[in-house]
Structure 1
Amino acid sequence: MHEKYDSNLERDGSYGKAPHSEDAAPTTYHDVDVFGREEGHQIVYKTLSWQLVCVLMIAEIVSNGMLSLPSSLAVVGIVPGLILIVFLGVFATYTSYLLVQFKLRHPEVHSMGDAGYILFGPFGRELLAFGTIVFAVFATGGQLLAGQIALSVLSGGKLCLMLYTGIFAIPTLLFSFPRTLDKLSWMSIPSVLSILVAGVVGMIGAGLYPVAGREISIARSSTFYDAFFSITNPVFAYAGHFLFFILISEMKRPQDAMKAAYVLQGFATTFYAVFAVVVYVYIGPTVASPAFSSLESKWAKAAYGIAIPNFLIAGSLYAHTAAKLIFIRMFRHSSHLHSHTLTGWSTWTFLIVLMNCSAFVLAVAVPIFSYLIGIAASLFAAWYTYGIAGAFWLHDSYHDGDGVRTWKRKWPQTVLAVLTFLAGAFICVAGTYVTVRAISIAYRDGTIGRPFACKV
């Protein structure tokens, strides 16, 4: 379980042997990773380049979450908000590095569930796998709601909102159906372009039609509840690490994963900061969440229309991830994984439909679903993106080194890993608290709708 593998690739793409014992038989990465050696198989998973993984990461992370960032600046001010966005980008880069290193040392890890088994045994596997599936389904539902808003704005709200969600759910399901991520990666290229262009269009629209009499705050004081509830937007705008193990598992050269992570975090942090500041400066404290809804009508339609491919592909990627985790868990090391069998395709079809239907039902049947996304993000994404990365480093430095003596010798890294773990715990507890309180306030104010409500 704790065997360490050399992550240096030779030019032919093969990995070094495990060095734990000098007389150990030569072992290569591909002999023990989740998909094994794939020569001659009908379905080949390990086809992704780091560039395509980067595109998948950006399509998944830089999505509708960025549309809430200007409203966060409206609560805390430009300077604190900008500092937070940049800090979280740097922090997410550090935790990405820890996740990639853990994956390279443990090639058998396919998901957070597998990582949980290494850290905490069977209980950890079930807990982290469950959290991954729940958050992925909730995130799919979040993208369906984003699509619902986009279609409603484009059509002038002529149909029932539930119908818009259903219309959007159909292509989301179809795009999530490919068995391997390389198909989704090519579809993610227009997804990335769409959210980039949509953001630029949104900033232009805000600049051409600024809100008169707006007051821009450099920094604002507020209660802990108001401040933390607003900053959960940038905190969870980076919450895509729960997919990283699954993405890296389908790479041809997993040791190139940090190249993708560096590009992702650099792009996301820069784009988030510029978009949030520009839109807030021109719209002011009345900026809505999502921010496109604060634009003049024709610019709102243009921005939402251009962003639709991103909402679709991001939702499809989340649903694909939830289905893939269960599918690999069921058929790892079996013929159904790499062959076109009736059992394999029937199971895959059932899982894809199940995940997409679950997301749709949650989105239209649960009036507080948007709040539940926040709770799921607090309970799980806070750990997957931030906290658990510290545990990965502590685990491997202990087992690959001299135990506690390694921690003492590398005390700066140990302290940073512990602080990372504690940061995840704080975000988890505080995020859950403010979201539950927000639900209570919404019920008190009567702003919670009814299940399957058909508003127009």
Structure 2
Amino acid sequence: MSTSHSEEKSIAPPPSDAQVDPKADTDVFEEQPGHDFHYKTLSWQFVSLLMIAEIVSNGMLSLPSALAVVGIVPAVILIIFFGSFALYTAKLLIDFKLNHPSVHNMGDAGYILGGWSAREILSLGTIIFAIFGTGSELLSGQQALSTLSNNGLCTIYLLLIFSVATLLVALPRTLDRVAWLGLFSVCLITLSGLVAMIGAGVNPVPGRTLSATVPTTFYQAFLAITNPVFAYAGHFMFFILISEMHTPTDAMKAAWCLQGFSTLFYTIFAIVIYVYIGNTVASPALLSLPPVWAKASFGIALGNFLIAGGLYSHTAAKIVFVRYFRHTKHMYTHTVLGWAVWIGLCFGAVAVAFILAIAVPIFSYLIGIAASLFASWYTYGIAGFFWLHDSYHLGGGWPGLRRKPGQSALAVFTILVGAFICVAGTYVSIKLIDDAYKEGLVGKPFSC
């Protein structure tokens, strides 16, 4: 799938948008022996670990509370359904990437679907979501450090310490440099979950109430549904990860590992925590554990929050870097400009996330809005457009679509699901902000 390029082209100045055409059938990364940076180095096993490290981070912490809101039966059904649905949409994304090897991120895919405007919207959305994801991990890291230190230090300082560490994780230019951290991260989040379940099991809440189903309003129900929906919100990174695989055709193996592990782990963790804590379970769930067990679980998970935050900020930086330096020497050799821009982009991503986390009191609520606006499409809805586009353009037009009525209907259903999650999720997130202000739950910026 890779196409070799002349040495003259690899040392050309940064190409303009007109010169970089994601519709071209060339691989996004060149591979030449003389390059200092080799991008296409990841195996499917390491890609699956990076996917799990990125997705199964904050995801598990909010799921037990969903069981408390809608009941154990519908919540578990939703967790399994959205895990299976995310596997289906992952296949559509992977097929689209294999059909278009020049696609590096959602922006490139948007250019193929709808030209310049779609590229700018999807690129900006991916960067925004990645920065908000970084901020979410920074807040989780700060919360873990606060728990471990018994709130012995101002949260701003804890957030700053964790931000510096996150920046260091993001700095390697190629993902193979952090691949082993993915294995470490998966081990940590799994162990953290096991410790939390043991802690809940040996310290059950006396007189706890459990509910098979709970009558509730649409607002409360969808608020609970957003937890399993966005627990799988990692597809926006898939194109970037697959672009750095040495065998992209193995990507579906990584997707199977990701969705199989996450769905099983989410289901077991949510059920066990809920059964032993009951309807009073908090979000994040670790805060419902006795202090010693909460500290143990948070302390173990801290490394996962760090690595996931580094991956998110790396993603935001990589999108911009590849956009402007694709097929130039700055991508593949050590140059002052290349390193200066790369470090600046990584620093900027982490810095913006840090500032948002300390300066915007409602930032944790804004993360829900960002997930509703972008993850609803990147993880679910846009996959339907990918399938319809390729089935039409590569399958003979309308006759090609008519030959596959079931798949065409499923693609349209995928688009409708993404649109529904986007609209309903945004409504719920905005109402949450309004309620928080009315109840006096919103703090002040730059406060400990």
Is residue 266 of structure 1 aligned with residue 260 of structure 2? yes
**1:31 offset after TM fit, Å?**
7.7
Alignment of 1:184-223 (within 5 A): 184-223=178-217
Helix, strand or coil for the counterpart of 2:177? Answer: helix
How many angstroms apart in 2 are the aligned matches of 1:170 and 1:37? 32
Q: Deviations over 1:406-439 (max 9, x none)?
A: 1111000000000001100000000000000010
For the pair 1:302 / 2:325, whether they are aligned, the reply is no
Deviations 1:235-268 (A, max 9, x none): 0000000000000000000000000000100000
Aligned partners of 1:92 and 1:265 also within 8 Å: yes
Matched, 1:123 2:100: no
Task: Check whether the contact 1:327–1:347 (CA below 8 A) recurs between aligned residues.
Answer: yes
Q: Residues of 2 paired with 1:200 and 1:315: CA distance?
A: 22
**Map of 1:33 onto structure 2:** 27
**Residue 243 of structure 2: aligned partner:** 249
Name the structure 1 match of 2:97: 103
In the other structure, the counterpart of 2:326 is 332
CA distance in structure 2 between the partners assigned to 1:119 and 1:185 by the alignment: 31
What does 1:71-220 correspond to in 2, within 5 Å? 71-220=65-214
Q: 2:8 maps to which residue? A: none
Partner of 1:275: 269
| Matched position secondary structure for 1:32 | coil
SS at match of 1:146: helix
The letter for the 2-side match of 1:204 is I
Partner of 2:63: 69
**Deviation readout 1:272-324 (Å, 9 max, x if unpaired):** 00000000010011111000010011000000000011000000000000000
Distance in 1, matches of 2:25 and 2:411, equals 30
Provide the rounded CA distance (Å) in 2 between the counterparts of 1:294 and 1:423: 33
CA distance in 1, matches of 2:428, 2:396: 41
Q: Give distance in 1, aligned partners of 2:365 and 2:166.
A: 22
Amino acid at match of 1:160: C
**Contact conserved, 2:286 with 2:294, CA < 8 A, in 1?**
yes
Question: Residue type of the partner of 2:289?
Answer: L
Q: Is the 8 A contact 2:25 2:100 kept in 1?
A: no
Cα distance in 2 for partners of 1:65, 1:293 equals 15
In 2, Cα distance between the equivalents of 1:304 and 1:365?
A: 24
Moved more, 183-192 or 67-76: 183-192
Q: Distance in 2 between matches of 1:246 and 1:124?
A: 18
* CA deviation map 1:316-367 (0-9, x unaligned): 0000000000000010011100010001000001001000100100111100
- Which residue is equivalent to 2:389? 395
RMSD of equivalent CA atoms: 1.1
CA distance in 2, matches of 1:315, 1:288: 23
Q: Which residue of 2 aligns with 1:360?
A: 354
Structure 1 residue 42 displacement after superposition: 1.1
Structure 2 unaligned regions, length at least 5: 3-23
Instruction: Report the Cα distance in structure 2 between the residues aligned to 1:111 and 1:31, rounded to whole angstroms.
Output: 15
Structure 2 contact 138–163 (Cα < 8 Å) conserved: yes
SS in 1 for 2:377: helix
261-270 or 161-170, larger mean C-alpha shift:
161-170
Write the letter of the residue equivalent to 2:247. Answer: R
CA deviation digits over 1:378-411, x for unaligned, max 9?
A: 0001000000000000000000012111111100
What amino acid is the match of 1:327?
Answer: F
Per the alignment, residue 24 of structure 1 pairs with: none
Equivalent residue runs for 1:44-63 within 5 Å: 44-63=38-57
User: What's the CA shift string for 1:31-90, capped at 9, x where partnerless?
Assistant: 811012333211111000000001100000000121000001000000000000000010
- Once the two structures are overlaid, the 10-residue window that deviates more, 445-454 or 198-207, is 445-454
SS in 2 for 1:41: coil
Are residues 1:351 and 2:345 paired? Answer: yes
Say how many residue pairs are matched. 427
| 8 Å Cα contact 1:68-1:289 kept in structure 2 | yes
Letter of the structure 1 residue corresponding to residue 182 of structure 2? S
| Equivalent in 318, 323, 328 of residue 312 of structure 2 | 318
Secondary structure of 2:297's aligned partner: helix
CA–CA distance in structure 2, aligned partners of residues 283 and 214 of structure 1: 6
Distance across 2 between alignment mates of 1:417 and 1:76: 28
Whether 2:417 is the aligned partner of 1:423: answer: yes
**d(CA) in 2 for partners of 1:299 and 1:291?**
12
- The 1:153/1:372 distance shift into structure 2, 3 A limit, reads same
Runs of 4+ in 1 over 3 A off after TM superposition: none
Asked if residue 226 in structure 1 is aligned to residue 216 in structure 2, the reply is no
Change (3 A) 1:31 1:127: closer
Give the distance between the partners of 1:36 and 1:167, measured in 2 at CA. Answer: 37
Structure 1 spans left out of the alignment, 5+ residues: 7-29
1:182-224 per-residue CA deviation (whole Å, 9 max, x = no partner) reads 0111111111100000000000000010111111001111000
Shift of 1:163: 1.4
How many percent of aligned residue pairs carry the same amino acid? 62
The 8 Å contact of residues 31 and 37 in structure 1, kept in 2 or not, is answered as no
Q: Distance in 1 between matches of 2:162 and 2:133?
A: 14
Q: Aligned partners of 1:453 and 1:224: how far apart in 2?
A: 34
Provide the residue aligned with 1:10 in structure 2.
Answer: none
